[in-house]
Amino acid sequence: MKHRKVTPACDEVSHRIAIPPRASGNVTIRPAIIEAVNRWVSSGADVRWLSSWGWRTKWLDQVGLPLLPIFYDPNPGEVFDWGRSQRPWKKPAVERFLATQTEAIRLAWVDDDAFFF
């Protein structure tokens, strides 16, 4: 399945960041989303990244996001295979996590790239 083209949100803004050793660059952010994540963290929720960015999440504090633990960090081959096969890697990672839980939990999953459900 191909990803559908997504129209940029009207509240997106460009923000300059530095990711050493690379030169600085611009990323597009949505301030309302950053505010929501910060509210969840402030509320005591266990917020984590489920991202193929891995170590690159360390620069997210430059856009106002807190440094958060990584829920699952796939190896590059897994992400490459996922991209070629169009099979998701995130959903199986969450399913494996849920299978290890011995008590009921609340789970909220917010994703900017979850078009495969």
* Amino acid 44: pLDDT: 92
Which of these, 54, 56, 53, 36, lies nearest to 45 by C-alpha position?
A: 36
Instruction: Write down the residue that tokens 């301030």 correspond to.
Output: 31
pLDDT in tens, 20-64: 777 788 888 888 889 999 999 999 998 988 877 766 677 888 889
Amino acid making up residue 26: N
pTM above 0.95, yes or no: no
